[in-house]
Structure 1
Amino acid sequence: MLASEVWPVRLLRLLFGGLAVLAVGAQFGREVVLPGFSPVNFFSYFTILSNSAAGLFLIGLALAPGRNRARLAEWLRGAMTVYLATTGIVYAVLLDTGELGLTLPWVNAVLHRVIPIVLFVDWLAVCPQCRVDYGKALAWIGVPMLYLVYSLTRGVVVDWYPYPFLQPVEVGGPAGVLLHILGIAVGIAAVSLLVAWAGNVRVRASQMRAAA
């Protein structure tokens, strides 16, 4: 069983965390020189926010692995796993049309595929130090829901939405937006319970080995 303190884990977390931050930075550099660029719009994409947070979090764990023993840090690690899974799944189900627009191909692959997989593998490979209560796991849904509220509210004010499924004209009106939000909420709740269950299974197995 891998531990946060061993150097291969720290090195991989540092490399992939740096890759996530580099990908976000490269995409920012590509767009910042374009006419009409809005940094607020750029950082209003859940993909950008989740990958930025996950990248910095992985770097933090790599540089200070002892923090991973804290209950809060483990809860946050589970949250990051859920948020990146959300990024990958929503992209695959609702957004992957083959048209990348301004997004660099390698950045698209890193942000929507590589980092989500890395976070999930990290959660499975590096055993959590403690169980996550399923009630607390469901609290992970709070951040994506707040993000959706922010996106819809700002969209009404500035007439700009980060994703097509949040635009009433693209999905058949407010009812279509609500249907997509409900579907996403159910999906995130299911992923949250799955991530918590997978972590708790690993914790239980570790405790049984220790007792034996």
Structure 2
Amino acid sequence: MTPERARRVHVVVAAVAWFAVAFQLLLVVTGDPVLVEDDPPGMVARLYRFFAYFTIQSNLLVAVTSTVLARDPLLGRRGWRVARVAGLVGITVTGLVHFFLLRPLLDLEGASWAADKLLHMVVPVLALAAWAWAGPRPRITARTSAYALAWPVVWVVWTLVVGRVDGWVPYPFLDADEEGWGAVAGACAGITVLFLVLFVVFGWLDRRLPAAPGPRVDGPAEPVRG
């Protein structure tokens, strides 16, 4: 895998991820409900809810980091590594949670169905395939993963706190009024375990798979094994 080929791979992922997010945003702005069956709220609430979804945030991380890699497929700055591994793990969780927990609850058709598949299936598969094929690797250390874990933790805390204020949460398994705090706590614990396992798996694969696409790493030296 040459840097030029890696660049083309990341261009494809970035283009699809940006399109998926923009497509869903267009549907939201024009009044399409997102995981709700009642009339959509006002524009400000609609936009907040759109960006509050973990799905959207993980797709945005993939879009941004893939765009950066399309410019420099060998990039390895320490802060950027955190965003990259957060995006990879986040988009994996997005795909898994959607497939096992949310997909059975949805009854979508037309443009909504297409946007849902792009965000929850196409982008996750493309992002993981691109990382496996084009890297960049090695980039993941224990410290990098620890910093990246801060994002989902903050997201959960923010979501639960705001949900108690305005009564809305982006996913039904986080609705304490409907499910009870015990069920919500169990769901949060299960997803936290999933995150930890995925960080370990990605770190292990990052050390075992061949370096890609090249050896250059920017910024201060950092031991690959953390």
| Larger relative helix fraction | 1
Instruction: State the 1:176 CA deviation.
Output: 0.8
C-alpha distance in 2 between matches for 1:12 and 1:125: 9
Structure 2 length-normalised TM: 0.80
Q: Which amino acid aligns with 2:171?
A: Y
Q: Residue in 1 aligned with 2:61? A: 53
Among candidates 169, 180, 183, match of residue 187 of structure 2: 180
> For structure 1, which runs of at least 5 residues remain unmatched after alignment?
208-212
1:24 aligns with 2:25: no
Percent identity for Structure 1 against Structure 2: 26
C-alpha distance in 2 between matches for 1:27 and 1:206: 32
Among candidates 52, 55, 62, match of residue 70 of structure 2: 62
Change (3 A) 1:125 1:15: closer
1:97 aligns with 2:104: yes
Q: Which amino acid aligns with 1:132?
A: I
C-alpha distance in 1 between matches for 2:28 and 2:144: 38
Q: Give SS of 1:96's match.
A: helix
Instruction: State the 1:206 CA deviation.
Output: 10
Among candidates 16, 29, 33, match of residue 30 of structure 2: 33
Q: Residue in 1 aligned with 2:149? A: 141
CA contact (8 A) 1:10 1:63 kept: yes
Structure 1 residues 139-174: Cα deviation after superposition (integer angstroms, max 9, x where no partner): 432211110111111101111110000001332x11
Q: Which amino acid aligns with 1:31?
A: V
Among candidates 118, 122, 131, match of residue 114 of structure 1: 122
1:130 aligns with 2:121: no
Among candidates 8, 13, 17, match of residue 10 of structure 2: 13
CA contact (8 A) 1:81 1:119 kept: yes
Change (3 A) 1:115 1:105: same
C-alpha distance in 1 between matches for 2:79 and 2:126: 20
Q: Which amino acid aligns with 1:77?
A: R
1:201 aligns with 2:208: yes
Q: Which amino acid aligns with 1:126?
A: A
1:79 aligns with 2:76: no
CA contact (8 A) 1:140 1:192 kept: no
Instruction: State the 1:100 CA deviation.
Output: 4.1
Change (3 A) 1:64 1:180: same
C-alpha distance in 2 between matches for 1:72 and 1:125: 22
**Relative contact order: is structure 1 or structure 2 higher (C-alpha 8 Å, sep ≥ 6)?**
2
Q: Residue in 1 aligned with 2:221? A: none
> For structure 2, which runs of at least 5 residues remain unmatched after alignment?
32-39, 215-226
Q: Residue in 2 aligned with 1:210? A: none
Q: Give SS of 1:19's match.
A: helix
Q: Give SS of 1:12's match.
A: helix
C-alpha distance in 2 between matches for 1:119 and 1:142: 21
Q: Residue in 1 aligned with 2:171? A: 163
Among candidates 95, 98, 101, match of residue 88 of structure 1: 95
Instruction: State the 1:91 CA deviation.
Output: 0.9
